[in-house]
Structure 1
Amino acid sequence: MLLLDHISKQFDSGTVALADVSLRVQPAEIVALVGASGCGKSTLLRIAAGLEAPTAGRVLINEEPLNGPHPAVGVVFQEPRLMPWLTVRQNVRFGLAALPRAEQEARTDVVLERVGLGRFADALPRQLSGGMAQRVALARALVAQPALLLLDEPFSALDPFTKMDLQDHLLHIWAYDRPTLVLVTHDLEEALVLADRIVVLRGHPGRIHETVLVDLPRPRRRTDADFQAYKQRLLEALDVRAEVAI
């Protein structure tokens, strides 16, 4: 589905963000990228989205080279980035202008029900809570029916209770069409709740330090001993004292 093949990235300032990162993500797989700030997680996600070009290496989507934004790829950012003058419904269907109006409406209705916002379709963004606004952003990405959905810390600005609710809700939505998900997060519990595989990036420039296969049944209970054992393993892999020595 997604292949990041020997990706390196150096910015015009001379900063090297990534060095020789290779990652293959399978169809319907959920992969989380974790690591300390500055290790290149979000840069790698932007490269996978076609929003940044790598300095070296290549990106393939379904075995085809990615050279810019792609209709099979959806992106959800940290902020909802809603257009305040449009209603929820209008924000969600904004990217469907090329489709017949009846199909636009049908897709929008389905996805709004899936994210639990059907009765708020005519509300404006200023009338929504932070969690509801982020559900609109998720709906806007899903309505295009992407094969690959990239999420850059989508719940980081939310309170812990809303965050946990949306993590569980994301899995519920994912189960309908099972798109491939790649998630950047600083929250290890979020990574463990959501991901089939967790990729730990370390260093400056960022490199893959370890990949952890999460062999836990869903739904995952954050208080279970096995869950906590995985969390401890990730904490050890992310050891900031080791970062200083790199």
Structure 2
Amino acid sequence: MALLSVNVNKVAVLRNSRGGAAPDVVRAATVCLDAGADGITVHPRPDARHVQAHDVLALALLCRERGVEFNLEGNPFAPPREGYPGFHALCAQARPAQATLVPDGDAQLTSDHGFDFNRDRDALRPHVAALRSLGCRVSVFVNAGDPDVAQAAAVGADRVELYTGPFAEAYAAGEPASALAACADSARRAQAAGLGVNAGHDLSQRNLAAFLDAVPAVQEVSIGHALIDDALYAGLAAAVRAYVEIVRRA
């Protein structure tokens, strides 16, 4: 059975757009865990556009207290800068249960591709070893359909995370079969190499069941943007009613 890790980056985006502490990222993560989520994911970028180093440490503490997985995503090649100590240093402080390596650059709005193992294999290996020495399970972000996905085992990773953006686009267009086949093939290749399989990016209530039905033995899905989008509508009416009640009583 797949586990659900909720990515709370978007909560921090909203907070940062106004400044201050609201909405509270830790409170949002707590609500997610109380509702049955199996863990929390964040992907701090070096430019601090959403979750920041202090959020990472607070969320790590919450997850330890609750006995759930904390999954920290990031680019191991991104250099430290003011406010961002570097991915390895942040993992050394937070000690996440899982470190997910993603090859994103500052110019990317969101993660949109996996590693090229022919290019990145040798550079990845020492980063994976260093993270595993901290006690982290290491997952690497991969493109569905990549014939070299099994090379993640050669760099020392424990799991791969399938980039599901192309599948979500194909599903929305009504033509998911080819994308699902690519995801399933990559999952089988990874599993044959002894790797676990995670998945994430643009998975939603609309496409998640189809994905899990078609792709074998997925261990974890990480979902943030679509879940927060759903929450705005599912919870907005209740919030408005609460405010109306206060106004009416005044």
Q: Give the number of the structure with larger relative contact order, counting CA–CA contacts within 8 Å between residues 6 or more apart.
A: 1
TM-score interval w.r.t. the shorter chain? Answer: 0.3 to 0.5
Higher helix content, 1 or 2: 2
Higher strand content, 1 or 2: 1
Q: TM-score, normalised by structure 2?
A: 0.34
